[in-house]
A and B are shown apart, each in its own frame.
With several copies, the nearest count.
Chain A
Amino acid sequence: MAQITLLEAVTQALAHELGADPRVVVFGQDVGVNGGVFRATEGLQKTFGPERVLDTPLAETMIAGIAVGMATQGLRPVAEFQFMGFIYPGLDHILNHAARYRNRTRGRLSCPIVYRAPFGGGIHAPEHHSESTEAIFAHIPGLRVVVPSSPARAYGLLLAAIRDPDPVIFLEPKRIYRAAKQEVPDNGEALPLDRCFVLREGTDITLISWGASLKETLEAAEQLAEEGIEAEVIDPATLKPLDIHTVIDSLEKTGRCVVVHEAARFGGLGAEIAAQIGEYAFDLLKAPVQRVTGYDTVMPYYQLENNYLPDTEQVLTAARATMDYPGEGAK
Chain B
Amino acid sequence: MHKPRMHLLASFDIAHLQYLDEAGRATQELPDFATPDTLLAFYRQMSLARLVDDRAVKLQRTGQLGTYPSSLGQEAIGVGTGSALEKSDVYCPYYRESGALLERGVKIEEILAIWGGDERGQDFRHAREDLPLCVPIATQLLHAAGVAFALKYKREQLDEPPRVAVASAGDGATSKGDFHEALNLIGVWKLPAVFVINNNQWAISVPRSAQSASKTIAQKAIAAGIPGLQVDGNDVIAVRSAVADAIERARNGEGPTLIEATSYRLCDHTTADDASRYQPEEEVREAWKREPLIRLGRYLRNEGLWSDEQEGELQRELAEVMEKALRAYSERAKDKPTAMFDHLYARLPEAFLEQYDQLAGEQ
Contact = CB atoms under 8 A, between A and B. Distances in A.
Partners in one complex: yes
Interface of A: 22, 25, 29-30, 32-35, 37, 51-52, 55-62, 64-75, 77, 85-86, 89, 92-93, 96-97, 101-110, 124-129, 141-142, 164-166, 194, 240-245, 265-266, 295-298, 300-305, 307-308, 314
Q: Which 9 A-B pairs have the closest CB atoms?
A: A69-B146, A65-B142, A302-B117, A66-B146, A241-B351, A34-B205, A73-B150, A57-B175, A241-B349
Nearest to B177: A61
B197 interface: no
A57 B345 contact: no
B344 A57 contact: no
Contacts of B28: none
B26 to A, nearest CB: 36
A141 B204 contact: no
A138 B115 CA distance: 29
Interface of B: 66-67, 90, 92, 95, 114-120, 122-124, 128-129, 131-132, 135-139, 142-151, 153-154, 156-158, 165, 172-173, 175-178, 181-182, 184-185, 188, 203-206, 210-212, 272-273, 277-278, 334-335, 337, 339-346, 349-352, 355, 359, 362-363
B119 A105 contact: yes
B143 A58 contact: no
Given A244-B351, A298-B340, A301-B118, A70 B184 contact: no
19 contacts: A29-B204, A30-B205, A30-B206, A33-B277, A58-B173, A58-B203, A59-B175, A61-B142, A65-B146, A69-B142, A69-B148, A72-B146, A73-B146, A93-B139, A102-B344, A194-B349, A241-B351, A295-B340, A301-B117
Contacts of A59: 175-177, 181, 184-185
A70 B120 contact: no
B344 A142 contact: yes
A58 B137 CA distance: 8
A301 B119 contact: yes
Contacts of A302: 66, 117
A243 B347 CA distance: 15
A304 to B, nearest CB: 6
The CB with the most chain B CB atoms within 10 A, among A51, A59, A102, A297, is that of A59
Given A33-B205, A142-B344, A244-B351, 18 more contacts: A58-B203, A61-B178, A62-B177, A66-B143, A70-B149, A74-B154, A75-B154, A85-B135, A89-B178, A108-B132, A241-B350, A265-B355, A296-B352, A296-B355, A298-B340, A300-B340, A301-B118, A304-B337
What is the predominant secondary structure among interface residues of chain A facing chain B? loop
A102 B342 CA distance: 10
B263 to A, nearest CB: 18
Contacts of A124: 66-67, 117
The CB with the most chain A CB atoms within 10 A, among B136, B145, B210, B212, is that of B136
Contacts of B157: 22, 51-52
Contacts of A37: 204, 272-273
A19 B107 CA distance: 41
Contact of A102 (B115, B203, B346): B346
